[in-house]
Structure 1
């Protein structure tokens, strides 16, 4: 949903090996945004008629993971639980200048979460994979049919821009041994049209926000944002806190909660025209695996998540430690990472020891 901050931040802004802060960062809340997005979709689709399916189906892009990855994949969970790889990107952003990124070609993704939903689907855990994690990228087939060779010690965030979402799925499966039942890519810029369709979203900020990069100018207080302002709101980071990505994630969560509240207020059954506009904007921002790439399948999956409360979802970070050769990068910490993936693979409880990361002081 934004440009790669790891390359956008000048070297002078990065921590040096001797000055790197060991303070534990705040837990990421992006997984809750994803659940809220699914709930919004279920609410909207519930107000549409079946006659709209053919029109809205064309909005959803699908990726055939089995064809792109092949048969050599991890086994599925032994239970009815689900594992979903969720990416946030600007791949459908069109003119990147509208996103405040300037004339930057290609697509970016710096949010990656493995959402684990145990049997019963009443709770969920989101494992955030830091974008600066050094991983082994497997050999992958790109969308044009060409192949890229495997490579060691590549930054996780680079896999998407180089080889596309199917390669990210393959990379995650090989590093974790966990089968991804589904894949979902969310283009947050697509919410620009959604916000305008529902008449705006109201947010309250405690402190003024002045961000020249995103173009957002807000005084402290309550504001009703239109689509353009909302896009700037979820993308701003320089005008809040310490200017890091963590502050932006907090704004994204606040915005999605407000968006969900606005959608709930809409008279979806009484206004077919407005309902169609909302559903059209929301489905246009989604790319999924081919099994979910229809409005009916996606709506059924969204409704199956109703038992999960976004407010109680546990969000943890993949246990990592600072890389000895490059302290500005991290690598999976052992044995914590192995314990974490094993618990997800077997459908068991994640031990507390697997939630602690040396890079977080745990």
Structure 2
């Protein structure tokens, strides 16, 4: 069929796929059933545009290019279980983990994910594992926020999670069964005593979600990008999560990702979402606000755009704009963490306007034409 071995679920690695969808019948196209006839947009993303590494980020970008506003769903989570936060604690150093959120779900029934979810994962190059792991990967693809799921049994003794730098001599066996010697500059997730995960890179084998798992603690966080990148390189273990963390993530999606993942587990794994969440660290990140002028925009770009045209272009990018005469102020959403100064705004205006639409002009110089003196 041409189905890639790299994304075949382990259960079907021998090549025999079993369909459970009652709507499918003999004679139906297997390519359609497996999502192999779907359209895939292949983006060549430069490191400075890590915001487009998520489906939502890509939708904002494509929407700006074709002048359509993407429909980004809000997540409303209704908790339906008892509060779990009374006898569990979590601590994190804001310098290494500026945001660290936890939720707990119980009564999870480990099984295969629905076919639609598996299809979206393997079309994005990710192998489906089970409904819990798949949910975390799906939310990562959707929002750009890496997620992790821990088997809650691991924390029954300490009832604690601590995010800290590793200590000399500590070891950790990762989910891929590779044992590593931790470095004092590695950020680790611990149960208050021993490491259970290499933060931003990969979880530990001791906290793996298995077929016997019934209670799960969900993690959504923001880790120091430099330390995450160095840890992934140091231990030769780059992952989808570390690739996102090292380039930056949208701080506004941490809460959304956590709630959306809990919703998926309720729908696909029969989970009960316990009331309350734990925020070990919760650093705010204010949106960048940049003030400049239309005349400076045109001078730098070599254009003759009106204020209305500039505002319309920035509106396509879903940026907030306030105008005062020739001056305009742009409020940049946190999902575009690559924009800091007015030149970044000019680049966005020129990009969406179209570089091909900017007329070529000779540069103005202060040189004088040579010639003979009058006498």
Q: Which has the higher contact order (CA 8 A, sep 6+)?
A: 1
Q: Which bin holds the TM-score, normalised by the shorter protein? A: under 0.3
Taking structure 1 as the reference length, the TM-score comes to 0.24
Of the two, which has the highest radius of gyration? 2
TM-score (norm 2): 0.24
